[in-house]
């Protein structure tokens, strides 16, 4: 049986909020089967739970923001991406600020945290959201699509008309039957442009952004002294974001995702369009792991007992 997963132990981290610029403390705790991913604003009295849920996403400017009764929690997509990439189904995430820490701008530090805590299987079947027919959303020349696929793969293309971006790879396809989330996606950092900083900060955004937690470009080049981690790091970060945004569905997908110039808003609209069509999806489990799709068996290998 492909089983649900949680953490073996509690683990803590601190960092800075990308948009708020304030110090954030984060605690990840194991959770019982069928709990899902639950964020908890522990700086409030009483604490407020915000469940990973596509219908709970409000603001999508520069991040995916969960909202409930006026309470917000922003920039959840990188941690959600890491949880999806490592197959964690159930976890409580305590945070003492209105935003998760940006860390180094990628999902890599979150992967390290999860691996340090340890991951264990639980005595409950892992439930997948299997796409049964194609669903697509559009916004001008931007689009995103989910199609049936016996595994999980993503294809993404970007257009920025910027020399530092356009000279890199601007299209990528990742199939987790063959590719590794940790090796091929997790280290790709978020990015931004110096000419946008003043406007963003006027909106209360990017107040914590720096060369330590983002790829920053002027009109012509990358300003980070170390350059890029990957030759197509920009588009791979878009895939990283999409994986996190899609995991807000509450279950890992069995699907092929493809997109052109998509972002948090369109990714969320796609999930809502999928879930709104009851004929387009179903929840499935695999009692016999040997009969699971090859890509899924590769992505979720059986863990060793604790």
Which of 44, 207, 10 minimizes the C-alpha distance to 114? Answer: 10
Give the side-chain half-sphere CA count within 13 A for 131: 26
Label residue 46 exposed, middle or buried (CB < 10 Å: 0-12, 13-18, 19+).
Answer: exposed
What pairing do the DSSP bridges indicate for beta strands 71-73 and 171-175?
unpaired
- Supply the pTM of this predicted model: 0.95
Task: Judge whether 260 is annotated as a binding position.
Answer: no
Q: Phi/psi class of residue 227: alpha, beta or left (left: φ > 0; alpha: ψ in -120 to 50)?
A: left
Domain boundaries, the chain: 3-127, 128-287+291-297
Q: What is the DSSP letter of 121?
A: E
Check residue 298 and give its pLDDT.
67
Count how many residues are written for the chain.
Answer: 306
Task: Judge whether 19 is annotated as a binding position.
Answer: no
Whether 260 sits among the annotated catalytic residues: the reply is no
Check residue 305 and give its pLDDT.
44
Contact between 253 and 129 under an 8 Å Cβ cutoff? The reply is yes
Check residue 195 and give its pLDDT.
80
Q: How far apart are CA 236 and CA 282, in angstroms?
A: 28
Check residue 197 and give its pLDDT.
72
Q: How far apart are CA 3 and CA 20, in angstroms?
A: 37
| CATH topology classification for 128-287+291-297 | lpxc deacetylase, domain 1 (3.30.1700)
Q: What is the DSSP letter of 50?
A: E
Check residue 302 and give its pLDDT.
65
Q: What is the CATH number of domain 3-127?
A: 3.30.230.20
Question: Which residues, including other chains, have CB under 8 Å from residue 293's CB and lie 6 or more apart?
Answer: 150, 151, 177, 254
Question: Which residues, including other chains, have CB under 8 Å from residue 9's CB and lie 6 or more apart?
Answer: 30, 117, 118
Which of 19, 251, 260, 264 is catalytic? The answer is 264
pLDDT along the chain (306 residues), means of 10: 96 89 94 98 97 94 92 96 97 97 96 96 96 98 97 96 92 94 96 79 70 89 94 97 98 97 97 98 90 74 56
Task: Judge whether 298 is annotated as a binding position.
Answer: no
């Amino acid at each position: 049986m492909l089983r649900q997963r949680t953490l073996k132990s509690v683990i803590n981290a601190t960092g800075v909020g990308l948009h708020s610029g304030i110090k954030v403390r984060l605690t990840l705790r194991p959770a019982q089967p069928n709990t899902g991913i639950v964020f908890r604003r522990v700086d409030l009295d009483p604490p407020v739970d915000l469940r990973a849920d596509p219908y709970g996403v409000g603001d999508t400017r520069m991040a995916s923001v969960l909202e409930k009764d006026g309470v917000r929690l922003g920039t959840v997509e990188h941690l959600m991406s890491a949880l999806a990439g490592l197959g964690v189904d159930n976890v409580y995430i305590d945070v003492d600020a209105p935003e998760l820490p940006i860390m180094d701008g990628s999902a890599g530090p979150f992967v390290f945290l999860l691996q340090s805590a340890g991951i264990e299987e639980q005595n409950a079947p892992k439930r997948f959201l299997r796409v049964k027919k194609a669903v697509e959303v559009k916004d001008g020349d931007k689009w995103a699509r989910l199609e049936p696929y016996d595994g999980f793969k993503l294809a993404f293309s970007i257009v920025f008309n910027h020399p530092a971006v356009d000279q890199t790879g601007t299209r990528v396809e990742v199939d987790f039957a063959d590719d590794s989330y940790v090796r091929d996606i997790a280290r790709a950092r978020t990015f931004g442009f110096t000419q946008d900083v003043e406007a963003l900060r006027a909106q209360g955004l990017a107040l914590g952004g720096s060369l330590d937690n983002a790829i920053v470009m002027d009109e012509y080049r990358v300003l980070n002294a170390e350059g890029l981690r990957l030759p197509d790091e920009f588009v791979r970060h878009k895939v990283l974001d999409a994986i996190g945004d899609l995991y807000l569905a509450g279950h890992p997908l069995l699907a092929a995702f493809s997109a052109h110039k998509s972002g948090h808003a369109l990714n969320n609209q796609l999930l809502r369009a999928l879930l709104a069509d009851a004929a387009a999806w179903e929840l499935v489990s695999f009692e016999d792991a040997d009969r699971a799709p090859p890509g899924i068996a590769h992505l979720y290998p059986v863990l060793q007992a604790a």
